[in-house]
Structure 1
Amino acid sequence: MIATLQCTVVDCPDPATLGHFYREILGGELDEGDPTWVTLTSPQGFRLAFQRAPDHKPPRWPDPEHPQQFHLDFDVPERADVERARERVIALGATFLHDSGGEASGFLVFSDPAGHPFCLCYGQM
């Protein structure tokens, strides 16, 4: 092993806003000491950092001309739970993009307030 993963860094125009968005999804603690770099530590110890990128150009899922670059998958236990989660993330500022349509398992695709795609996954994937 050469190293251990410190955190995943997400470029965005407003680190505090995106940090608060993901804290509502994951829970955890935000470190907002620097307005250009906000870190979220989840209850499980996973860390996401949000870095100010003034010229940020969001991806346009699923447009290959503006690729997603990366995306985050979040597990939600049941289809009924994912429907409640859909309402909550939209209320937080997410934009709904796609439903895979699965009955027992599948995913819903959204973009966060800075345009990064993320999925709410349910069932056995």
Structure 2
Amino acid sequence: MALVNAAVVVLDCAEPEKLAVFYKELLEAEETDVTANLVEIRGADGIRLAFRRDANATPPSWPRPENSLQVHLDFLVEDLDEAERRVVGLGGRPLETKSAPTEYEERGYADPAGHSFTLRILPSMAPKQG
């Protein structure tokens, strides 16, 4: 067993209840803990996210340089177009990024509170032919 294990990623936001609904729907998650200032969810795959109330939270401006990135989440998907429709339908928005190309096909988004995240095509596990 590792000395340190990841427990939960916590995002600060002005309205944790609303942001929790976005990620709960996106990840098909369930609420595991709710207090006056924190909502925690666990996705079907085990990922745990929490949303902590911060009345002074300011959304990051990434990819613009005016404000720091603060946090960035990556999610693996099988169908980028279908996942994008879901993100936008839940209140997320696409981000125009000019990142260097990677080996993965990916798209950037912001959640309703402005936190950035990436949807990335699930890498193929099939053995290479040839």
Provide the residue aligned with 1:6 in structure 2.
Answer: 7
Residue 18 of structure 1 contacts residue 113 of structure 1 at CA under 8 Å; is this kept in 2? yes
Q: Which consecutive residues of structure 1, in runs of 5 or more, have no partner in the other structure?
A: none
| Aligned 8 A contact 2:34 2:40 in 1 | no
SS of the residue aligned with 2:96? strand
The equivalent residue for 1:84 is: 82
Structure 1 position 25, deviation (Å): 1.3
Structure 2 residue identity aligned to 1:84: E
Larger strand proportion of the pair: 1
With normalisation by structure 1, the TM-score equals 0.84
SS where residue 117 of structure 2 aligns? strand
Alpha-carbon distance in structure 1 between the residues aligned to 2:26 and 2:48: 13
**Which secondary structure does the structure 2 equivalent of 1:98 belong to?**
coil
TM-score, length-normalised on structure 2? 0.81
Structure 2: gaps spanning 5 or more residues: 125-130
Whole-Å separation in 2 of the counterparts to 1:6 and 1:105 = 27
* TM-aligned CA deviation for residue 45 of structure 1: 2.1
Larger Rg: 2
Aligned residues: 120
Q: Which residue in the other structure is 1:33 paired with?
A: 34
Q: Measured at CA, do residues 32 and 6 of structure 1 come closer, stay the same or move farther in structure 2, by a change above 3 Å?
A: closer
CA deviations on 1:37-63 (whole Å, 9 max, x unpaired) are 000111222211100010001101112
Residue 60 in 1 paired to residue 61 in 2? Answer: yes
Judge conservation of contact 2:31–2:39 (CA < 8 Å) in 1.
yes
SS of alignment partner, residue 95 of structure 2? strand
1:36 shift after superposition: 1.1
Residue of structure 2 in register with 1:107 after alignment: 106
Label 1:2 to 1:86 Cα distance change in 2 as closer, same or farther (>3 A): same
Determine if contact 1:99/1:107 at 8 Å carries over to the other structure: no
Task: Tell me which stretches of 4 or more aligned residues in structure 1 moved more than 3 Å.
Answer: none
